[in-house]
Structure formats: structure tokens, C-alpha cells
Chains A and B, each alone.
Chain A
Amino acid sequence: MNQQILLKVKNLKKIYNNQIVLDIDSLSFNKSEIYAIVGPNGSGKTTLINILNLLEKPDEGQIFFEGKDIIRTSHLYFLKIRRQMTLVHQKPFLFQSTVYNNIVYGLKIRGILYHDQEARVNKALKMVGLPGFERRESHQLSGGEAQRVVIARALAIEPEILFLDEPTANIDQRYIDVIERIIKKINYEMKTTVIFTTHDLSQAYRLAGEIVSLVDGKVVQHVPENIFRGKITQEDGLQWFVITEEVRFAVVTKKKDLTYIYIDPTDIILSNEQFSSSARNSFIGKIIKISEQNHLIRLVVDIGVHLTSTITRESFQEMKLNIGRKVCLTFKASAIKCY
């Protein structure tokens, strides 16, 4: 795969109401790859995608497209770059008109010849599996169809980068698979760079070649599973990280009050029964999700909060684990990273 850097941001900062909501030193996106931006609610995913798509301006920092700084550039060049990318919003919006008129909009404003317009609309509709929908009125479409038309409208432009903000957050379960297949197809067939946000980590793993993890407006090196926001308290000479009334972890930290913690899924030992050890944290919970990831098995266990543990395929088979099964999770206080 071509490893050319298409889009890059440097020292990016966005401030709302005197609060830094985005603070990224450096982040780059290669051509023709799929990226997932993941993170908890309020981590800055949508703000980042709006800035990358040049809809919002950062308060500080630079954005490079094919190596050129596009923040300090002429109005015309900025528009030219802006027209090479597009964003599909979380809640799709269609103009009150036919499907055809919706899709052709981006082509009309670019002055694409009439003859080419029709061919490109048809191609885009075919791509999303809705050929023959041209004459339908937008208000007659179902939620899943509307989402696909919105994607077709973005595709007709033939963008270098396609941004999708939570593409499956507002549609029925049965359409999620369809949308995911379309996203893969766009990237494979049109070599479009796809950057999407999601709160569903398994979706990120299914689709993306690379995952960008955002926490509190910052890019972190690990994916945001086992990331929790809570309060550090002192009790019996020990430090506790309190997530909910029922769930608290023993931690070792200099932090006080509100903070985020992260536990590496490989640091969590999974066992069928509780055992005594030096590890200060041990919980019993039920397995609620099992998935495969790079020869490892990811298990999400509900202990009052959802904790992810990864184990090898061999261990998984030996322990005969399945969904609903009660297991014990054990990890050291020092395995918890606070920041």
C-alpha cells in the first residue's frame, strides 16, 4: 500500500469557552487507508473530524494536505482542498428533493458537465446498492436508505478523503453491516482515504487499518477500552479509584480528585475461580462479548463496568469460555495508569 501522507496536523489546539477541547501534537493520515477515531463521549472526536474536514478552524496549529499548509493559504486554494474531502454527518440530512437532486448537488457546485453528472450519480447509487432510486423523494426513504443516499452523495464527488461521523450510530442494527461493507468497498475500489469516528471499538477493529484513540482531546497510544473517568479517594491508608458506588479499583498514583485511568487488557488475568495473589484488584463478572483480534481473543466482562481482557486463543479454548459465563478478573494496582 502507498504510504504517502495525505493529511497531517501539527500542534493543533481548539478552545471552547476557555477550555482546551483538542490538543494534538502530531497526527497523520496516509493515502488510501481506513482510520477509526475512537474515544469516550466528549473526547473531541467530532471536533477533530470537523477541523480535519476544514469546517471548523483550529485556534492554533497547522493542517497539511499533501505536505502543504492549508490554514495559511489563499481562499481559492483552501476551497480547492475543501472540495477534495467531504463529511457525512452523524444525523444524515437530505435536501427536500429527489435522491438524484441530492446526489448531484456536489457535482453542480463544482461545475461538472451535465453529461458526466448523470453517470456519476448512477455510479454512486450503484456503489451503495440503491440503483434506480434516482426519482425517489428524499422524505420517502427509510433511515437506512437515507444514510446510504447521504454516503452516495459524498461518493459522487469522488473525494480524496471521506469523513464519516459515527456512520452507524443512528440506524437499525440490520443496516450496520450494509454500511460497513460499503465503507470497505469505497476504500477498496475507489482508493478513498476513509476517516470515521465511532464509539464501537469492535467496529473500529473490523473496518480500520489504524485506530486513533482520543481521550480528553488528546491522542493516546492505546485504544480506549478500559478507560474510565472517576475520582481518587483515600481510605484505610490506600488509594482508591472510584468509578461507581459499587466499583472501585486500588491504585497507586499521585493524582487527586477527578482523573482518567487506563488498564492494558493484557494486564488483566482472567481465571475461572478467584485465587490469592499480591494483586489488589480482583472481581467476578459475566462475559458479555467475545471477539477475535490479531490471534488474540478479546473478552468484555461486566463487573459493574465493562472491562476488556485479552487472552490467547489456546487459553480461551482450554478454559472453555462462552458468553454469560462467570469469570474472575485480577490485576495489580500498579497496572492502572492514571493521567
Chain B
Amino acid sequence: MSFIIEGLRKAFALIFSLDKEVFHIVLFSLRVSSTAIVFASLLGIPLGFLLGVKDFWGKKLIVVLVNNALAMPTVVVGLIVYSCISRVGPLGYFGLLYTPLAVIIGQFVLATPIIIALTHSAIQGIDAKIRNTALTLGATEMQAAWAVIVEARYAVMSAIIAGFGRVIAEVGAAMMLGGNIKDSTRTMTTAISLETSKGEFGFGIALGMILLLISLSINIFLSYFQSKKV
């Protein structure tokens, strides 16, 4: 028991003394996950929108694949991306493995299906009426599409936050692709995993508490946006 209490004491000390290493890792994690989410949103929202409004051949298959990707284990994503960017992989030339960019790519692959699927379901329910209303008021096709996204804004925000929640808390892909290199690719989750196995409970608990706090904030945001959905 004492090691837990000792660990907690150390964790608080690290947090309140604004320990450089702890906060470096936290900021790195936030930066990597945010970057991944920005790109995942740029791809996922338009794709989710298209799935919601357009009928095309193979649409059902895509929806099934996207929904399947939601539940894909993070280590599998890590494995797939690893095999693409490792030295012998098709993208090996770029030397991306064990760089922050590799972690971003892994998290991007994880988050994109979530954003696509949630945007798709948000758009699906409201599309026709808004699009028609916008068109009758003189909107171009693009303006009408934008009106649909604006109307679904809370649901789309929920999709982005849910994607962020998934990637900030995942460990498999970050570990396999980033390699948990100190001061380079070490994220909160990979650090917790390493420090715990080293017996550095204080460090692990400190990061764990910060991660929990971030998750909590994400969930508060999420429920706020979901309550806005009329």
C-alpha cells in the first residue's frame, strides 16, 4: 500500500512543482494528438458529409468498413502504419518511423474513422430539409453544404472531441510508431507504461492524473455539445 501513497505524494509534488519533464510530455501529447485531430477532421468531416448526403455505388460497403474501423485495436493500427513506414515498407524512404510524425500518422488513422462515422450519422438525420431550405433561399451547392454542417455543428464538434478522446488516451500506436523516445516521441500514455514498469509510480501517477483530468474535460465538453443537439 505504501508505494501507492508514496507514489501519490510524489505525483502531487511533480504536478505542483510544474516538473519540466512531466509537462514536456503532456504538451507533446497534446500537440501530437491535436495535430492528428486537425488532419483527421479535415478529411473526416467532408467524407462523413459525403456519406450522409450522396448516394453512390459501394456506399454501404464504405459505411461498414468505417464502422468496423471504429473498433480497430490501436496495436493493429500501429502494426499497419508500422509496416508502411518502416525502412523496408513502401514509405520507408521518408524515414518516418520513431518520429513525432509517425505518431501523428498513427493517431490520424485512428481518429479519422470516428470522425467520419459520427459526422455521417449527424448529417444523415438533418440533411434534406436544411439543404433544400438553403437552396430555396438562393444558396449555391457549396453554401447549402456549409449550412448543413453549421446546423450539425454540435454533433460535428462531438465527433471531433470523441476522436481526440480516443487518440490522447491510446498507447499501442504511439508506442509502436513513436518508440517512446525521451524528449522526442514520448507521450503521456507511453511514459506511464514505461515509468510504471520501471517502478517510478510517482511519475506514472502524475501523468495518469493529468490524463484523467484531460479525459474528464473532454467528457464535459462532449456532454455539453451533445446536450445542445436538438
Q: Which residues of A contact B (CB under 8 A)?
A: 53, 55, 79, 82-83, 86-89, 91, 93, 95-96, 105-106, 109-110, 139, 153-154, 157
Given A106-B138, A153-B137, A157-B137, A89-B230 contact (CB < 8 Å): no
| B139 and A109 contacting across the interface, CB-CB below 8 Å | yes
Known: A86-B138, A139-B230. 11 other contacts (CB 8 A): A55-B132, A55-B135, A55-B136, A82-B138, A86-B137, A88-B136, A89-B133, A93-B132, A95-B133, A95-B150, A105-B137
Chain B binding site: helix, strand, loop or mixed by DSSP?
helix
> What 6 A-B pairs have minimum CB-CB distances, sorted nearest first?
A83-B138, A106-B137, A87-B136, A93-B129, A93-B133, A109-B143
| B139 and A96 contacting across the interface, CB-CB below 8 Å | no
| A157 and B151 contacting across the interface, CB-CB below 8 Å | no
Chain B, 132-171, contact with A by CB distance < 8 Å: what is the 0/1 string?
1111111110010001001100000000000000000000
| A110 and B129 contacting across the interface, CB-CB below 8 Å | no
| A89 and B139 contacting across the interface, CB-CB below 8 Å | no
| A110 and B138 contacting across the interface, CB-CB below 8 Å | yes
Say yes or no for B130: interface residue by CB 8 A criterion. Answer: yes
Query: Which residue of chain B is the closest to A159 with respect to CB atoms?
Result: B138
CB distance from B188 to the nearest CB of A (A): 36
Which of B132, B133, B139, B147 counts the most chain A CB atoms within 10 A?
B133
Residues of B within 8 A of A91 (CB): 129
Q: Which residues of B contact A (CB under 8 A)?
A: 129-130, 132-140, 143, 147, 150-151, 230
The complex places the Cα of A79 from the Cα of B130 at a distance, in Å, of 18
Residues of A within 8 A of B137 (CB): 86, 105-106, 109, 153-154, 157
CB distance from A102 to the nearest CB of B (A): 9
CB distance from B156 to the nearest CB of A (A): 13
| B132 and A109 contacting across the interface, CB-CB below 8 Å | no
Residues of B within 8 A of A86 (CB): 136-138
Residues of B within 8 A of A83 (CB): 138
CB distance from B23 to the nearest CB of A (A): 39
| A157 and B138 contacting across the interface, CB-CB below 8 Å | yes
Which of A82, A91, A93, A106 counts the most chain B CB atoms within 10 A?
A93
Query: Which residue of chain B is the closest to A150 with respect to CB atoms?
Result: B133
Given A89-B132, A89-B133, A96-B138 contact (CB < 8 Å): no
The complex places the Cα of A163 from the Cα of B77 at a distance, in Å, of 53
The complex places the Cα of A110 from the Cα of B139 at a distance, in Å, of 8
Query: Which residue of chain A is the closest to B150 with respect to CB atoms?
Result: A95
The complex places the Cα of A10 from the Cα of B137 at a distance, in Å, of 25
The complex places the Cα of A79 from the Cα of B139 at a distance, in Å, of 9
CB distance from A192 to the nearest CB of B (A): 15
| B133 and A96 contacting across the interface, CB-CB below 8 Å | no
Which of B129, B133, B137 counts the most chain A CB atoms within 10 A?
B137
The complex places the Cα of A106 from the Cα of B136 at a distance, in Å, of 9
| A96 and B134 contacting across the interface, CB-CB below 8 Å | no
Residues of A within 8 A of B140 (CB): 79, 109
The complex places the Cα of A96 from the Cα of B230 at a distance, in Å, of 8
Query: Which residue of chain B is the closest to A86 with respect to CB atoms?
Result: B136
